Amino acid sequence: MTHRTTLLRFTRLTLYAAIILNGIFCLAIALGLGVSLVWGDHFTALLLSPESLSGITKTTTGTRCLMLVGLLSAGATQFILHVLKRMAEPLNSDDPFVAANAARLRAIGWALVGLQVLDFPMMAIRHNFPGLGNAVPDTGLSLGGWLAVLLVFVLARIFDNGTAMRDYLQETI
């Protein structure tokens, strides 16, 4: 039980740190997008290497698209981290088979679907805005990512059944 408590405490600390770091990342992208909308090509010129500056207007558009997709991804990640933090809280971790945790897992599942779907605009950005170079992550269809989505939805169903069984057992004398 001590090992489990230590593991839970470490998990919570890791989640807190991830939420803070991802939050800063979200803020940075949002600020960058805002500045790009105001400064346009000047801001793009600051971000990219001199070789990438031909066709800068198109590159600016690509940068904004990249930031928008990045913001959506970071936002979905922030949501997942917050939900995980709620699940790892002491009250919830002592008795995980509650209806709320099944709902939280489903919410994480949908957020993961969103993250996987965002791979498509990212691939489109990489294809249509070559001037962005390595600024665009080299994403592609991820079998592992889609398997994770399936796994989370299956787990949510298991939690649903586990909650129903637990509730039934509580009323069994």
Partner 1 sequence: MQIIVTLDDMLTRKGMTLTELSDAVDLTLANLSILKTGKAKAIRFSTLMAICDVLDCQPGDILTFSREGGAQE
Query: Which positions lie near partner 1, rule CB under 8 A?
Result: 168, 171-173
Write down the least CB distance from residue 169 to partner 1, Å: 9
Residue among 148, 141, 143 nearest 124 (CA)? 141
**Minimum Å distance from CB 159 to partner 1?**
20
Of the two residues 128 and 161, which places its CB atom closer to partner 1 in the complex? 161
CB of 166 to partner 1, least distance (A): 12
Tokens of 75: 């936002």
Strand ranges, E, within 11-87: none
Minimum CB distance to partner 1 smaller for 49 or for 172: 172
Give the residue with the Cβ less far from partner 1, 2 or 168: 168
Shortest distance, position 104 Cβ to partner 1, whole Å: 26
| Residue number with CB closer to partner 1 (138 or 168) | 168
Q: Judge contact between 15 and 79, C-beta under 8 A.
A: no
Neighbouring CB atoms inside 10 A of 81's CB total: 21
Tell me the DSSP string of 76-92: HHHHHHHHHHHHTSHHH
